[in-house]
Structure 1
Amino acid sequence: MNLSPRTRRTRTARTAIALLTLAALTACGDPSAQDHAATGAAPPPSTSFTENGVTVTLSVSDWHAPKGTLTAVFTPEKKGFHLYSTELPPTGVEGVGRPTAVDVTGVLKADGKLTAAAGIRSIRVPGVDAPMPVYPDGPVTTTLPVRADGIGDATVLLGYASCSAEEGCTIPVAGHPVHLRLTDSGPTFTAH
């Protein structure tokens, strides 16, 4: 079929718009997924769950066997809720609060310290003498350098508690398991 130059340009433009729309939809607003779509690389493996008022999204990025970065984004479902600092003691302060925690077991090991991409602020809680270290209201992104000791199964254990000055606290979550399988081609999240 012999098409005019104008018709070819129109079809090319429509195809480009369709491909850009598809790329935007498949990336779902995830900047790392958009970067991977632009380079043609597969997005990092990821999974998510919601428990006790917080959605947790996990991903493994920068995987260069046997090392990578485990990222956990903790997002309170309701506006005005915050998470406690990773530095909070395991049983809280005077029994109040629980730390935001990410740990790994199995063939995956921590290869550094858990860090959060949010500043810590102190708040006062009625009945507690010491100030409570918390993150600002809203989502908190944490990262943990990890390394694999071989191929096989691993488990990510997550803990957190969210609170609001107006509505109080949700029930803390401790040791919520998320399972991974490490193969020669890298880590993948598995359902259990």
Structure 2
Amino acid sequence: MSLLRRPATALLAAALAVPAAGCSAAGAAGAPGPGYSARFDDSGVTVTLTVRDWHDGAGSLDLTFAPDDEGFHLYSTDLPTSGVDGVGRPTTAQVAGALAATAPLTVHAQLRQLTLDGVNGAVPVYPDGPITATLPLRADGPGPATIHLGYAACSQTQGCLLPVDDHPVSLTVTDRGLTAVATSSR
């Protein structure tokens, strides 16, 4: 599982601010304001971030991690930072700035234990293909915020892609919701 299939250069698509389903872009005082949606591709995985149910400065961040090729899985959120005997990287989402997480990141997929030759212990992975995770959020006031994402995708037959340790997604918290900040490639 040490074969690296992708170049180190990451491609980042522009983040877009769009109204969340059921939310008014006008957003009267106290009403839910625009939601936030962004998408990028880095190291063979397309990641989509969507804020939903944003009311009174709180909501949930849905993250979909979709490997670009079939047969690739992502690792458990509970995996140690350096993996198991160096194999794998945890799926992570951390917030900084004007946002705070109100509960841990949860993934809506069943874990399976992968046993590999030369690794002392099973490696917890999600099923091959896309996974969706949720991170409950609250605003700590208006201002800039960053969501830092980490993950790695591997295949039992095709090897591993380069891990992503800290992919930042910048946004701004306003009194009406979250909006995108211009992004650039890493």
What TM-score bracket applies, with the shorter chain setting the length?
A: 0.7 to 0.9
* Runs of 5+ consecutive residues of structure 1 not aligned to the other structure: 1-32
Match in the other structure for 2:114: 123
Which structure would you say has the larger RCO, counting Cα contacts within 8 Å and 6 or more residues apart? 2
Residues 83-131 of structure 1: CA deviation (Å, up to 9, x unaligned): 0010101111111100000000001011111100101000112210200
Match in the other structure for 2:101: 110
Match in the other structure for 1:62: 53
Q: Give TM-score scaled by structure 1 length.
A: 0.78
RMSD of the alignment, in Å? 1.6
Query: For 2:23 and 2:54, how far apart are their aligned partners in 1?
Result: 16
SS in structure 1 at match of 2:109: coil
Structure ranking higher in helix proportion: 1
SS in structure 2 at match of 1:174: strand
Query: For 2:182 and 2:23, how far apart are their aligned partners in 1?
Result: 27
Match in the other structure for 2:16: none
Match in the other structure for 1:83: 74
Residues 151-174 of structure 1: CA deviation (Å, up to 9, x unaligned): 000000000000001001001001
Q: Which moved more, 1:113-122 or 1:43-52?
A: 43-52
SS in structure 1 at match of 2:154: strand
Q: For the pair shown, which has the larger CA radius of gyration, 1 or 2?
A: 1
What residue identity is the alignment partner of 2:131?
A: V
* Runs of 5+ consecutive residues of structure 2 not aligned to the other structure: 1-18, 26-33
1:41 Cα deviation after fit: 4.7
1:65 Cα deviation after fit: 2.2
Correspondent of 1:53 among 40, 44, 47? 44
Query: For 1:162 and 1:41, how far apart are their aligned partners in 2?
Result: 37
Query: Is residue 35–residue 177 contact of structure 2 (8 Å, CA) maintained in 1?
Result: no
